[in-house]
Structure 1
């Protein structure tokens, strides 16, 4: 009887424990399990988020480094181009300066040579002028005149083109010394043989010719004077 009572008490106690203790405890345990699982899921999510954040940070850093390298490379390239351009411009300016200096030096040299040639020409002409004035006496003067007209007669000095004659023109003979009348007549005859019988011949004297003869026929001038030769020499020297 006592045993039965204990069994009944145990059953009642177990039922009471199940009703009032087991279910709450199990509920608490279930809630705890759920909280733990949620915590684990949150931890995994946090770890994944952290990993993603780390990946994103690394990606951003890599992009930043790549952009920095690109900017640095572009800056270096531009700096090299600028340096090359500056060097090329400096070389070109230096070349232009050298060429300009060479041109200026050559110009100055030519000016100096020109001035020297002018001085030499003037001195040479002056010396020749003095020598001629001292050397050309009347006899030599007349010899120069005769030589000129002999050259015309022999065809060595061409007054007109072949078979060309002048009618009504005037021939002007200018000598450094006066000619005798018989000489004028002789030279008039020689000129008319070449120019035509109708040509009027006029004789003039110009001591500045220094010697020789200048012949003017229309607009043609044959200068066989010493002054003309000295002028030609001066032009050659200058």
Structure 2
């Protein structure tokens, strides 16, 4: 060592000093630094793990929230559809009820009008009957008893034409004035019909028009007057 110019004792002292410094540095600086770095690494790793867990929890929460929103949207749509259906049903029910009430009002109005017209025609019938009786009495030059007078009035309004006998099982009978039960029974007897509907038309003046399908027997006063007018002209 001396030949190389190296002092062995000094070198040994330096080695010992370096070792001591290294040990001191390891104990006082390097070891705490390594421990701090390891703790920092573990903290960072834990932070990353917590972040991943938080991200997963957030994703799950968003998924659950979206699922809830979708379910509520479906439920709301269902309620809307049910409400619309109920609303439409209620509207239909109200309209149908209003239609029924309107129909009932129209039917009642027609019935009232027909009853009022028939009452007025009944009064007119009595007056026309009196005129017919007076005319008959003037023609024959004598007064008529009540029975003959009633017969003249009945014939004027309800005389069944001979051609109407056995015209058909179902008839429509048109008269100038409303007919009573006895007069309707007489018409049924003379025509032999089973089903008869009655209609009032003051414009025929008197007599009866009897229809069965396309067959018509016109025994009205209006028709007879028209024939008379045609003959005269």
Tell me which interval the TM-score lies in, with the shorter structure as reference length.
Answer: 0.5 to 0.7
Is residue 81 of structure 1 aligned with residue 85 of structure 2? Answer: no
1:227 offset after TM fit, Å? 4.5
* Number of aligned positions between the proteins: 149
| Residue number among 62, 65, 68 corresponding to 2:70 in the alignment | 62
Q: How does 1:1-238 map to 2 (within 5 A)?
A: 1-129=9-137, 132=140, 134-135=141-142, 227-234=146-153, 237=157
Q: Distance in 1 between matches of 2:96 and 2:43?
A: 77
1:96 and 1:90 map into 2 onto residues whose CA distance is: 10
Per mean C-alpha deviation after superposition, the further-off stretch among 56-65 and 38-47 is 56-65
User: Are the counterparts in 1 of residues 129 and 153 from structure 2 also a CA contact under 8 Å?
Assistant: yes
Q: TM-score, normalised by structure 1?
A: 0.55
Structure 2 residue runs without a partner (length 5+): 1-8, 158-178, 180-233
Q: Normalization by structure 2: what TM-score? A: 0.56
- Once the two structures are TM-superposed, the CA of residue 43 in structure 1 deviates from its matched residue by 1.0
Structure 1 residue 231, shift from structure 2 partner: 3.6
Greater length-normalized contact order (CA 8 Å, ≥ 6 residues apart): 1
CA gap 1:118/1:227 in 2 versus in 1, 3 angstroms: closer
Computed over aligned residues only, the root mean square deviation of the Cα atoms, in angstroms, reads 2.4
Q: Deviations over 1:96-115 (max 9, x none)?
A: 22222221222222222221
Identify the range of structure 1 (42-51 vs 64-73) with the bigger mean alpha-carbon deviation.
Answer: 64-73
Which sections of structure 1, spanning at least 5 residues, go unmatched? 136-209, 212-225
